[in-house]
Amino acid sequence: MTSVIEGKPPVATGRQSNPVRTRASLPVVPLARPEIPDKDSDRLDAIAARLLREEPALGDSAAFGERVAAGLAEDGRALAFEDHSGLALYARRGVVLTEYRPLLLAGDGDFVAIGEQPDPGFEAYCREILGLGQVERLFPAPEDGAPIRLPTRLLHDADAMNRLVEAARRDGVISLITYYGNGGCWVLGREIAARSGAQVRIAAAPPRLTRRVNDKLWFADRVSEVLGRRARPMTYYAYGPSALAAELRALARRHERVIVKVPDSAGSLGNLAVGAEDILRRTFVELRSWVIETLTGLHWDGGWPLLVGVWDSPAVGSPSVQTWIPEARDGPPVIEGIFEQVVEGPRGSFVGAVPVDLPDGWIMRLAHEAALLAGLLQRLGYYGRCSFDAVLAGRSLQEAELHWIECNGRWGGVSIPMTLANRLTGNWRRRPFVVVQREAQPLQPLTVDQAIDRLGERLFRPGVRDEGIVILTPRLMAEGRGLHFMALARTGEAARTMARDCVAVLSAQAR
């Protein structure tokens, strides 16, 4: 799998606001902060008020104590970690190959917790070559039996908890920079606050809101409320096998391609796209059995409802808008980048992204509509990293319809490199960059030190060489299963060429 991301100059789409308040290790560099007209703001207020009346605890963190809240403290230390538990299908995939990504978001003196085998070489590289700071690594002991989520392992590890509690007590505050706001990270924050008496700030939404935001069905309903029914593809709930089969047959009679989605999955893991012919050639009973068996093969756990919808085809683009949603006191949501997603395969698997090459009118529309969606989430209590995926459905830009298909209320394969590039260059658009995340590619296992030796003068070195390669995670290389790096250069084409050359250099067999 190969990811490609490159930069280009920003397009002004609205009045710029004061800089967003975050930690130094999480710079937010606005592409735009579109101004939301009063009438739209009032409408968002009304929608949010109704949702909170219907579900009063939606954005509430009171259950975790008065010392725990969404946000980031500018002072004190932080704990950064990546935990996917709560996202459907991830728990059954086995080993997570990206657990070292939080090291790229940590600063000097912060803690980084990992669940995989520690890699001192990669830690030294981030510290000594990239200059990301001296962090304190936590490696909570693995437990026998079923996989235990990382926050729970931290809670059960006396040494790790003592170090976190002592740091929080000494500073009076600690921040948790988490992949997303699942219950485990909030329980961990509650325990740290209870033992230390300190304030705990979590850079994510409370668990209930996190689940809703990452649920594709819930998000489809919000798109309809904020932007209208035409702003989303045809989307339906299916509450059982027979209803699922019936909906598939009905849609297949009118559309060439239909999709079933596990609504709380991520990264296309729970997507099943089916051609109309494959649906209609089966009897109702055969279709019902086949689709359930196929979903089970994707590690679906049998939960309902499922999303059934129309796969937009043809399409001239699949843009993704990267946003940062601050606390309301710091202003409206920030648009940091608008990328074109690259998807491949029958499930529409994400394999990369490039900054969109669209007319300014389209960029302004994408920024404005994403700002409205993010504005609603902010009113519900959402904080932190969030992206919105869309499709430009049609045969040309002139006739295309903009359909918003899902919300990713979490960090990811675009936002983490983007934030790291901001740390290294001040603004990722100053150095167009390409990210290569190539998995399942057999190659000679390489340690980080060996990779550094091979790259030589191609290696990015802040203050010394402002173009070059940045290693993002070590495990794919170490196991000989792939590559994960970023190339930064003065132009997008130079970054692409550099990335291609370095794939060959790192993939070459030793002689």
Q: Tell me: the pLDDT tens digits for 286-304?
A: 999 999 999 988 878 889 9
Same domain, 95 and 192: yes
Same domain, 351 and 215: yes
Mean pLDDT of 223-238: 96
Same domain, 105 and 137: yes
Give domain status of residue 90, yes or no. yes
**Residue 416 neighbours by CB under 8 Å, 6+ apart:** 101, 104, 105, 472
How far apart are the C-alpha atoms of 459 and 424, rounded to whole Å?
13
Q: Tell me: the pLDDT tens digits for 348-383?
A: 444 456 677 899 999 999 999 999 999 999 999 999
Give domain status of residue 274, yes or no. yes
- How far from chain centre, in Å, is Cα 208? 18
Number of folded domains in the chain? 4
Range of the domain at 259: 235-310
Strands 401-408, 384-393: pairing is antiparallel
For residue 474, the domain's CATH number is 3.30.70
Query: Could you tell me if 217 and 305 are in contact, meaning their C-beta atoms sit under 8 angstroms apart?
Result: yes
98: amino acid identity, one letter: T
Tokens of 315: 């399409």
Same domain, 357 and 215: yes
Give domain status of residue 17, yes or no. no
Report the length, in residues, of the chain. Answer: 511
Residue with tokens 């490199």: 417
Q: Tell me: the pLDDT tens digits for 414-453?
A: 899 999 999 999 998 888 888 888 776 678 899 999 999 9
Does residue 465 register a pLDDT over 80? yes
Same domain, 291 and 318: no
Give domain status of residue 271, yes or no. yes
Cα-based distances in Å from 209 to 200, 219, 385, 394: 19, 11, 14, 33
Tokens of 37: 């007209």
Same domain, 102 and 249: no
Query: Could you tell me if 151 and 185 are in contact, meaning their C-beta atoms sit under 8 angstroms apart?
Result: yes
Same domain, 199 and 255: no
Sort 296 into a burial class: Cβ within 10 Å, 0-12 / 13-18 / 19+. exposed
pLDDT given for residue 416 in this prediction: 94
Give domain status of residue 457, yes or no. yes
Instruction: Provide the percentage of residues in the chain whose pLDDT is more than 90.
Output: 72
Q: Which residues of 273-284 are buried (b: 16+ CB within 10 A; e: fewer)?
A: bbebeebeebee
Residue with tokens 């969109």: 356
Give domain status of residue 332, yes or no. yes
- How far from chain centre, in Å, is Cα 179? 8
For residue 389, the domain's CATH number is 3.30.470.20
Same domain, 94 and 193: yes
Give domain status of residue 285, yes or no. yes
Give domain status of residue 13, yes or no. no
Same domain, 373 and 297: no
Same domain, 386 and 329: yes
- Residue 90: pLDDT band (50, 70, 90) is low
Which residues is 386 bridged to in the sheet? 323
Same domain, 84 and 180: yes
What's the whole-model pTM score? 0.91
Residue with tokens 């070059």: 468
Same domain, 153 and 267: no
Tokens of 160: 């790790």
